Amino acid sequence: MFLYKIVQVTVNKRKKSDMATTTQAHFRLRNTTMDKLRLALDTSAHRSMAALADDILDRALDKMLTDKPDFDAAGALRGIRRDG
């Protein structure tokens, strides 16, 4: 019993350190965006749509911030009409 607990704690510690730090978030996405994510998930190695969306956002934001470090996202979105 004691050995089992030591092994279990060791396994749990490994799992926590192997995983990336994540934060729960809820986004409202357009239907067309969800359709594109579903299509991309079919050909992707990602296990979930959330993991795929996280990877896409991370890469796109890195590129955007590298290309335009002083980019004002709020300013860019002002005045844009959104449908839905």
Per-10-residue mean pLDDT of the chain, 84 residues long, equals: 48 53 84 93 90 90 81 69 58
User: What does the pLDDT read at residue 75?
Assistant: 72
* Residue 17 burial (10 A CB sphere; 0-12, 13-18, 19+): exposed
Which pair of tokens denotes residue 62?
A: 């890195």
pTM: 0.56
* Token output for 32: 């067309």
pLDDT for residue 82: 61
- Strands (E) across 1-84 are located at none
- Please give the Cα distance from 46 to 40 (Å, whole number): 9
pLDDT at site 61: 85
pLDDT for residue 7: 47
Write down the pLDDT at residue 66: 84
Please name the amino acid found at residue 40: A
